[in-house]
């Protein structure tokens, strides 16, 4: 069994994937309190990773990949990593870690490059698994003597997630005067979306009920629906106006957030917000695999027994989730 002193967890994909990897950090700290945890990720996910009290240091993969091979190795050696865990498979990273002579190189050796570049290999499937992504990630801790016995409902506690950021000094409303609901209509292609028409209808019902509604997303996302946002004193368009740090702060000061399976939904769930996710029941994108793990989160599907979803066919039944159903979940 490995008794690590410095563990590096590698997850260089999206925000939601990173968040569902964070429980690994708390589980390691629980067994090895003096172990240092380093997280290798993309620059744009750094604010999310820094919200975990269990992460001691961050390595920016976007910076490292611009260096030559010898510079990369020298850069990694500064961290004295003895155990490296490949959560997201990346060929260039697995090759670099082997060249760097890191002692323990753990992976799920489904990819050929990981089979050759790792020396501690597990073998489990993700795509058709009935397990949640966060639970699957913890399987990579078994070589450290950590066999996860934590239920999915308690796994969020091991993220150590807390807001570390302040709201921008200037924003157009008083957050303390109304319940704030954030609507995040788009997903950058990571999920089947509910549809802007549903979000617009929901925004009007919320605004007319006295809620303050914030439409959020990137600038490119905002360009897709900004013209359709209703003109209403209780509805504000913040698409393209917030850094990730500011967005996290706004979520921390909100009452609820509605989105598909996206990073902001997972952030809201870990900040104990009323995080309402809109999902398809089709594998592998169903909520059993990807729902948020926070204590107040909900994952809605139109029909758990949708025949097309069960057969793995492309299906837009998520758009049939009624606006009133989502509204009722917010008001609970």
Is 97 in a helix, a strand, or coil? helix
d(CA 143, CA 165): 35
Residue 68: CB atoms within 10 A of its CB come to 8
- Which CATH architecture group holds 180-331? 3-Layer(aba) Sandwich (3.40)
Region 276-294 average pLDDT: 94
For the chain, the first-to-last Cα distance in angstroms comes to 47
pLDDT band at 173 (very low <50, low <70, confident <90, very high): low
CATH of 6-159, one of 3.40.50.1370, 1.10.3720.10, 3.40.50.2000, 3.40.50.700: 3.40.50.2000
The per-residue pLDDT for range 227-280, each reduced to its tens digit, is 999 999 999 999 999 999 999 999 999 999 999 999 999 999 999 999 999 999
The per-residue pLDDT for range 129-143, each reduced to its tens digit, is 889 999 999 999 999
One fold for 6-159 and 180-331: yes
pTM for the full model?
0.95
Tell me what pLDDT residue 188 has.
84
Q: What percent of the chain has pLDDT over 70?
A: 98
- Helices 263-270 and 244-252: crossing angle in degrees, nearest 10, is 40
Tell me what pLDDT residue 172 has.
60
- The residue ranges of every structural domain in the chain are 6-159, 180-331
Burial code of 99-126, b = ≥16 C-beta within 10 A, e = fewer?
Answer: ebebebbbbbbebebbeebbebebeeee
Tell me what pLDDT residue 125 has.
84
The per-residue pLDDT for range 1-43, each reduced to its tens digit, is 889 999 999 999 999 999 999 999 999 999 999 999 999 999 9
């Amino acid at each position: 069994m490995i008794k690590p002193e410095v563990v590096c967890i590698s997850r260089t994909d999206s925000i939601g994937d990173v968040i569902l990897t964070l429980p690994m950090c708390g589980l390691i700290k629980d067994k090895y309190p003096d172990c240092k945890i380093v997280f290798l990720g993309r620059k744009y996910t750094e604010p999310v990773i820094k919200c975990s009290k269990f992460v001691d240091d961050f390595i920016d993969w976007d910076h490292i990949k611009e260096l030559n091979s010898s510079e990369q190795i020298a850069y990694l050696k500064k961290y004295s990593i003895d155990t490296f865990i490949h959560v997201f498979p990346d060929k260039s990273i697995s090759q670099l870690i082997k060249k760097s002579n890191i002692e323990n190189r753990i992976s799920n050796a489904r990819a050929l490059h990981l089979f050759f570049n790792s020396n501690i290999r597990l073998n489990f499937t993700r795509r058709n698994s009935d397990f949640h992504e966060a639970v699957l990630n913890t399987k990579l801790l078994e070589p450290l003597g950590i066999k996860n016995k934590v239920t999915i409902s308690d796994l969020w506690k091991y993220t150590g997630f807390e807001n570390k950021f302040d709201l921008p000094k200037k924003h157009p409303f008083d957050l303390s005067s109304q319940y704030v609901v954030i609507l995040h209509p788009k997903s950058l292609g990571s999920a089947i979306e509910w549809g802007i028409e549903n979000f617009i209808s929901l925004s009007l019902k919320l605004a007319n009920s006295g809620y303050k509604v914030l439409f959020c997303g990137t600038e490119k996302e905002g360009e897709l629906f900004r013209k359709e946002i209703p003109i209403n004193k209780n509805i504000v368009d913040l698409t393209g106006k917030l850094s990730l740090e500011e967005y996290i702060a706004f979520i921390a000061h909100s009452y609820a957030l509605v989105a598909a399976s996206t990073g902001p939904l997972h952030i809201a769930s870990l900040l104990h917000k009323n995080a309402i996710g809109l999902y398809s029941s089709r594998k592998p994108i169903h909520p059993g695999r990807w729902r948020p793990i926070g204590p107040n989160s909900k994952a809605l599907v139109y029909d758990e027994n949708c025949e097309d979803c069960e057969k793995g066919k492309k299906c837009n039944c998520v758009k049939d989730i009624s606006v009133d159903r989502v509204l009722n979940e917010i008001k609970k």
